[in-house]
Amino acid sequence: MAYLTLFFTAFISATLLPSSSEVVLTAMVTKGEYLLWLLWLSATVGNVLGSCVNYWLGTQVIRFKDRKWFPVSQASIDKAAERFEKYGVYSLLLAWLPIIGDPLTVVGGIFKVRWWTFLWLVTLGKGARYLLVLAFAVGLDKLL
């Protein structure tokens, strides 16, 4: 049940809703009752799947851009496209960052990044982030 809790916390953390899966992960590591690799897997998979929801939302939301109620102007969309092209698809490796990470995954959907490219880049970045959280929580010498 604890792994599932971490999974859902990480999932919610990856959407545009606020949550802090790193705190939950660190608390579970500190408790010392759980397998580190399963903690890492639960957090990573949950967080990546949350980003996949953002990607899907990005693919859907752009079809409403011509509606009066749409909250983002065409100028803002064009500016986001320019930045995304400037920094490239590899900016998705930064999807783990606070504040900019979640919107990056939505932008990936808006600009229709190839699905497998999106999935690999986001998984690599988020998996590395949770590995670092584990390393700080237990100490690098104990992790390896």
- Its pTM stands at 0.87
- Contact between 34 and 41 (Cβ < 8 Å): no
How many Å apart are CA 7 and CA 72, to the nearest integer? 31
Tell me the pLDDT tens digit for each residue of 14-43: 986 777 899 999 999 999 899 999 999 999
The b-or-e profile of 72-104 (16+ CB within 10 A means b, else e) is: eeeeebeebeeebeeeeeebbbebbeeeebbeb
Residue 71: CB atoms within 10 A of its CB come to: 8
- pLDDT given for residue 16 in this prediction: 67
99-132 tens-digit pLDDT:
888 889 999 999 999 999 999 999 999 999 999 9
